[in-house]
């Protein structure tokens, strides 16, 4: 059989369809395809989609949006979180082909169209076999006119044109081609794409030096985090902490009496990954904390760290789940020259692979049953990729609204693979991108369609493990600058406790040249902070989070565009909604040590103003209003405020 119809370049399709593309539930998913055939016959194309598991698909006609490039488009809305299958089908349309020819003949004032009318009548007669009710009546009425000798050509053409939509449905699809296999969409809730995260240690939310806080005491901070505009409260591990080989302050090898240990040394006689550290309270107290966060409009993210202290119950119950040294002892974790003798890594190649994997699934579902729907996964790149594909699909089958953040500071191909296999979001290299060239290159990569289809960045400005050198050297102006960049470049961003206080006391990090770690790290001791200490930038945090919520352009990454400035120490970018009803112009001084100026050109197609025309912009950080045009001047003093966040308000006469 000769094949005449071809379907090519269907999108979205990640790696040709090996992995699902990611979209947001409740929003249109646009599907594009190149559809063509040899010759000049007319074509029809359709999008066919269905929720995973559904037997009856929905068919949506596609529209030819670019005739010269054979570009067709349609869309569907995945209403709820979950997986959806879709494909594209196409076929030759004999009736539309005939009608186009009839129009040409009529346009040439050809009077005798009887032969052509008979051809059309044959097509309608065949279609009548599939017509019922009103459709049958309409087709028969057209057939009578087409079969009428010496019928008025204009009347024939008008009736034939009226029948075209119905014939598109009734005709046999004789040379139908279906794109196989089906492609897949993973639709997730809005929090998968947009949100402000705040990371904290429960034990450090108290007010008494040297005494750890409980869940109930930590609840007192929730109203403040709500007022600062955070959506997600991310907790460092809350599980029992082991005592064997417990680390002391500043990661010292020997803990002193009273040292609380690292929360990542999980497991003690009090339990393992499905228990809470007794010093924090009980599971009932945890449940109350989850409910309190929800009451304040926030949700909880839990750290999911697949490692154990030597005191973890699994060490005795499942010794086969751990690596062994030649002398038979269990191997502890190492990252030379560092030794983590308080942590045993799990062996995912254990002969009891099935048992280990099932236990990991049980743990996640245990916390999901207690209301947790976001999991920040510690070092996922050190575990098998197929494990993550399996685990995430298993969890989301029961809880389609579950989200997973990959803490994968590793090589780009591995980070991308984790995202393709199901991780909702990922940490990124943003922490180490500081110059205009670095930021522009990296964000251009992240916002490109082929990347945005599967990779969602979460721009953490700092973490308990990472104190960027620019924050140490640049002080408060650098904290403000990096906060604005994180909050306005990426739809999802986060800060770790103390960022709002501009904490930057550091000690050298010898393992990674050029990087630094926090002095007196909270990972190994209890902190008590004055959350209103002088010099804090809480007002800026609250303002930026409010701006993000009020301006839908900040909810997307694929709408980012950089504009050229004449000063490399100034960066300027634009975010806008597709209909340009919300246009934001952001300027940031990347030099925390001195004021910088620049001239920036804003094309009219970016601002929405007429070429050469003026328009009004409002700085959402200060309330100041400016008249702008195609070319504009900026001066930003980092000691005062290192950024403009300008919203285009209206055109000026």
Catalytic residues: 378, 407
The tokens of 292 are what? 């309190």
The tokens of 613 are what? 């025309």
The alpha helices in 79-234, defined as continuous H runs, are 94-107, 114-127, 133-146, 153-170, 215-218, 222-227
The tokens of 620 are what? 């959402």
558: burial class by Cβ within 10 Å (0-12, 13-18, 19+)? middle
Contact 560, 577 (CB under 8 A): no
Cα four-point dihedral sign 481, 487, 493, 498: positive
d(Cα 186, Cα 86) in Å, to the nearest integer? Answer: 11
Give the strand pairing for 596-601 and 631-636.
antiparallel
Q: How many helices (H) does the chain have, and how many strands (E)?
A: 16, 32
Contact 401, 189 (CB under 8 A): yes
* Residue in the structure block whose two tokens are 């008249």: 627
d(Cα 461, Cα 572) in Å, to the nearest integer? Answer: 19
Helix (H) or strand (E) holding 146: helix 133-146
Contact 21, 184 (CB under 8 A): yes
Residues 604-639 as b or e (16 or more Cβ within 10 Å = b) = eebbebeeeeebbbbbbbeeeeeebbbebebebebe
- Other CB atoms closer than 10 Å to residue 154's CB: what's the count? 10
Contact 579, 622 (CB under 8 A): no
d(Cα 420, Cα 389) in Å, to the nearest integer? Answer: 9
* Residue in the structure block whose two tokens are 């065949």: 126
* DSSP SS3 for 191: helix
């Amino acid at each position: 059989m000769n094949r005449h119809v071809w379907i090519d370049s269907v999108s979205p399709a990640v790696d040709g369809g090996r992995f699902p593309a990611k979209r947001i539930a409740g929003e249109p998913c646009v599907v594009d395809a190149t559809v063509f055939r040899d010759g000049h016959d007319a074509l029809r194309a359709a999008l066919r989609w269905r929720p995973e598991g559904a037997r009856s698909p929905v068919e949506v006609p596609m529209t030819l949006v670019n005739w010269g490039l054979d570009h067709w488009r349609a869309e569907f809305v995945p209403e709820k979180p979950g997986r959806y299958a879709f494909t594209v089908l196409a076929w030759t349309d004999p009736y539309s082909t005939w009608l186009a020819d009839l129009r040409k003949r009529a346009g040439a004032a050809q009077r005798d169209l009887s032969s052509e009318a008979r051809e059309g009548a044959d097509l309608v007669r065949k279609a009548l076999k599939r017509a019922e009710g009103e459709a049958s009546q309409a087709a028969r009425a057209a057939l009578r006119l087409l079969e009428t000798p010496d019928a008025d050509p204009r009347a024939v053409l008008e009736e034939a044109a009226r029948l075209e939509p119905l014939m598109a449905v009734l005709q046999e699809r004789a040379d139908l081609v279906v794109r196989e296999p089906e492609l897949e969409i993973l639709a997730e809730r809005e929090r998968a794409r947009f949100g402000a995260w705040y990371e904290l240690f429960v034990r450090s939310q108290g007010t008494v030096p040297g005494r750890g806080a409980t869940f109930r005491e930590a609840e007192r901070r929730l109203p403040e985090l709500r007022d600062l505009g955070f959506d997600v409260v991310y907790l460092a591990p809350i599980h029992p902490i082991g005592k064997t080989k417990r680390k002391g302050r500043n990661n010292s090898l020997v803990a002193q009496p009273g040292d609380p240990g690292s929360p990542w040394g999980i497991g003690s006689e009090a339990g393992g990954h499905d228990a809470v550290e007794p010093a924090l309270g009980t599971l009932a107290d945890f449940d109350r904390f989850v409910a309190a966060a929800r009451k304040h409009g926030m949700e909880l993210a839990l750290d999911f760290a697949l490692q154990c202290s030597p005191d973890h119950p699994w060490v005795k119950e499942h010794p086969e789940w751990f690596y062994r040294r030649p002398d038979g002892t269990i191997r502890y974790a190492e990252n030379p020259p560092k030794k983590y003798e308080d942590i045993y890594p799990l062996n995912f190649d254990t002969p009891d692979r099935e048992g280990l994997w099932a236990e990991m699934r049980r743990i996640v579902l245990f916390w999901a049953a207690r209301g947790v729907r976001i999991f920040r996964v510690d070092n996922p790149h050190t575990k098998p990729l197929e494990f993550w594909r399996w685990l995430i699909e298993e969890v989301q089958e029961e809880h389609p609204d579950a989200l997973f953040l990959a803490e994968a500071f590793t090589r780009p191909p591995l980070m991308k693979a984790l995202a393709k296999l199901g991780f909702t979001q990922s940490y990124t290299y943003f922490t180490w991108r500081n110059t205009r060239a670095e930021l522009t290159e990296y964000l251009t990569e992240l916002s490109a369609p082929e990347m945005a289809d599967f990779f969602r960045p979460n721009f953490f400005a700092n973490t308990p493990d990472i104190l960027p050198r620019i924050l140490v050297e640049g002080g408060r102006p650098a904290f403000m600058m990096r906060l604005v960049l994180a909050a306005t470049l990426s739809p999802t961003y986060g800060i770790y406790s103390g960022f709002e206080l501009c904490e930057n006391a550091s000690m050298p990090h010898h393992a990674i040249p050029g990087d630094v770690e926090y002095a007196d790290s909270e990972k190994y001791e209890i902190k008590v902070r004055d959350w209103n200490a002088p010099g804090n930038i809480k007002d800026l945090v609250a303002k930026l989070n409010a701006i993000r919520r009020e301006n839908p352009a900040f909810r997307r990454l694929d709408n980012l565009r950089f504009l050229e400035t004449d000063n490399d120490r100034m960066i300027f970018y634009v975010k806008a909604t597709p209909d340009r009803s919300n246009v934001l112009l952001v300027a940031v001084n990347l030099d925390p040590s001195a004021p910088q100026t620049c001239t920036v050109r804003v094309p009219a197609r970016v601002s929405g103003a007429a070429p050469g025309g003026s328009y009004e912009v409002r700085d959402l950080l200060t309330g100041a209003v400016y008249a702008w045009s195609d070319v504009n001047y900026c001066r930003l003093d980092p000691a005062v405020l290192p950024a403009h966040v300008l919203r285009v308000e209206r055109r000026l006469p």
